[in-house]
Structures are given as structure tokens and as C-alpha cells.
Amino acid sequence: MTGRVSDRAMTSRSSGFELELAAETDNVPLVRHALRGLLEASGVPEERISDIALAVTEACANAVLHAYPRSRGQFEVAADLTPGRELVVRVRDHGSGMAPRVDSPGLGVGLPVMAAIADALEIDTPDGSGTLVRMTFDVAGPAS
Amino acid sequence: MVPDATDGVRCLAMDDASSRGAPRAASARFTRDTVEETATVVNVDGELDINSADALREALDAAEADGCSVLRVDAASVTFLDSTALGVILASAQRMAERGGRFELVCGSPSIRRILDMTMISRTVHLLP
């Protein structure tokens, strides 16, 4: 797959990561794989990992597909896994916001999928530009 | 008057006896046609998402161009499926239906069943276990 990644920065912590990526399609699986690594290392069940990976992929795909229809831009992803076994994922872009698109290239089910999987879903336009998607997931830990 | 449940049987027996040698009126008809189907199978593995959607579209376009009557996508080894790739699959399925063909999706992997179930794609695409 072609695509350029610019200004990539990653800060690893014991319970999360932050990524700043070009809004290109090949960066979406990169986010998913980082998330999967975090959750696998934390003992989250595979079925839950698959669901969360799907929801976060949909959020990132929205940023790549819709945020910058006429320009290049970036998006940021932050994942925090709290000791209370709650995962918070924020996907932020600085694009055109959630305006309706009659020429939308997507299937239109991304948001419903995210809403169905996440235990909480918030969508905001902080500072008056772009979109911030904040998803909270309960993640069941290993049997203790 | 309560109809006798056995009347019909008696009547049939009488008819049969009285019209021995003559053709009987059949209650069901059967015809047989030979259908010639050509199937093209596209095998996919790995992850189907926004990053591989264009490659998937090219593969399905090429398979449709074969003029097959059945297009089967074997996604049993696919480990991930998102809505962008699902849109590509649906578009191909619709094109196949419009020309009288059939689109089948082999989707044994539980990791991709979730989005298929959530989007109720089974109403549009013939799913094979």
C-alpha cells in the first residue's frame, strides 16, 4: 500500500500510547495493531479486542475519509488503559467537521458500529474545528 | 354435517377404479431444467479494511469481468473486516444481483462475523459458513 507518514511520534507508556499520524489509509491498520498490542499485553480477551479494534478502526477511517476532502492533514490517537480496566480512546482530527456529504465514499455504518461496541461514545468539535471522537470501553480482565 | 375425513380417500379409490387405463389428473407437476453455472472463487486472507479496500475492489472487479454467474469470496482466513471493505463487498454483490448472478461470502472467521451480524448483511449477501 502506498502512503506517506509524516510527523509520526509515539510515546509509550505502561498503559497506553499516543500517535500523531498523517491522515492516510495505511496509518489506520498501524493504529489498530498498536491498540491490539496494548490490549493483548494487558490480557484482554480476544473477542473484546476484535470488537474494540473494529470500533477504533471505524473512527480512524472517518478521519482519513472525511476530515480532509480537499487537502492533506493529520489525526491523533490516544489510548489509555486505566488500572480499573477501562480503556479510553480519543481520535482527533483538525478537518472539516461532521458536515453531511452527498458524495460520501463510506457505507455510513461507522458511527452505529462504534456506538454499538463502545460503552460510551462522545463526539465533539473542540476549539471550533475538526472532530474529536472519545470512546470508552469496559475491558474484562483475566480471571482473578 | 361433519365431513368424513375418509371420503376423499374413498373417492380417489373409486375414481382410480372407474378410470383404469386412462391418464389421471396429477396434483403436482414437475419439470427439470439443467442450469449451467460458472463460479469464480476469490480467496482472500489478511485484513480487509480501508487500507486494502482498493485492492479488494480491483480483485472483485476482475472476477466479475469473467462473466461468472456465481462469485464466491472465500474470506475464511480474513482476520479483520471494517465497514469500508464491507461497502466494497456489498457493491459487488449488488452488481452481481443486477445481472442475475449470485454473490457468496464464506465467512467462517468469528472475528469478521461481528460486523456482518451488526449490519445484517445476510439480507443482501449469501453467507456460507
Q: Give the CATH number, domain containing residue B124.
A: 3.30.750.24
pLDDT digit string (tens) for B8-67?
Answer: 444 444 445 455 556 667 789 888 888 788 999 999 999 999 999 999 999 999 999 989
Residue B72 counted as domain residue = yes
Average the pLDDT over A56-66 and give the result. 94
DSSP string, A50-69: HHHHHHHHHHHHHIIIII-T
Between β-strands A86-93 and A74-81, what pairing exists: parallel, antiparallel or unpaired?
antiparallel
pLDDT band at residue A141 using 50, 70 and 90 as cut-offs: low
Q: Which of A54, A58, A64, A66 to mutate to test the interface with B (most CBs of B within 10 A)?
A: A54
CA distance A132 to A121: 10
Total structural domains within chain B: 1
CA distance A92 to A76: 5
Domain hosting B61: range is 39-128
Q: What is the mean pLDDT of chain A?
A: 85
Asked whether residue A116 carries a pLDDT value surpassing 90, the answer given is yes
Question: Is B8 strand, coil or helix?
Answer: helix
Compare CB distances from A61 to B50, B110, B111 and report the shortest one's residue. B50
Q: Which CATH class is domain A9-100+110-138?
A: alpha beta
CB contact B52 to A (< 8 Å): yes
Average the pLDDT over A102-117 and give the result. 81
pLDDT band at residue A100 using 50, 70 and 90 as cut-offs: low
Average the pLDDT over A20-30 and give the result. 96
Question: Is A133 strand, coil or helix?
Answer: strand
Answer whether B82 sits within 8 Å of A57, measured CB to CB. Answer: yes
List, in order, residues 6 or more apart from A144 with CB less than 8 Å away: none
Residue B13 counted as domain residue = no
Task: Pick B29 or A88 by higher pLDDT.
Answer: A88
List, in order, residues 6 or more apart from A83 with CB less than 8 Å away: A15
Cβ-based neighbour number of residue B52 at 10 Å: 23
Residue B28 counted as domain residue = no
CA distance A92 to A89: 10
Most confident of A4-13, A54-63, A79-88, A135-144: A54-63
**Ranges of each domain in chain A:** 9-100+110-138
> Which of A37-51, A68-82, B29-43 is the least confident region?
B29-43
Q: What is the dihedral of CA A92, B121, A33, B44, to 10 degrees?
A: -140
pLDDT digit string (tens) for B83-128?
Answer: 999 999 999 999 999 999 999 999 878 888 888 988 888 788 999 9
Task: Pick B118 or A89 by higher pLDDT.
Answer: A89
Answer whether B50 sits within 8 Å of A113, measured CB to CB. Answer: no
Residue A4 has a pLDDT of 38
Residue B124 has a pLDDT of 81
Residue B59 counted as domain residue = yes
Answer whether B115 sits within 8 Å of A113, measured CB to CB. Answer: yes
